[in-house]
Amino acid sequence: MNNYGVLAIDLAKTVFQVCKTDHFGNVIYNKAVNRKRLKD
């Protein structure tokens, strides 16, 4: 059994959408993040 998830980032000019899923495809979190916070 594979035990991995997906971390996806939707790139935009000022606000990015970050989504993480577990290995079943269930969303763990889906947040809007600004450029400064994404770099930290």
> pLDDT tens digits, residue range 1-40?
566 788 888 888 888 999 999 888 899 999 999 888 877 7
Whole-prediction pTM? 0.64
- Which amino acid appears at position 37 of this protein? R
Please give the Cα distance from 12 to 38 (Å, whole number): 12
**Distance in angstroms (rounded) separating the CA atoms of residues 29 and 2:** 20
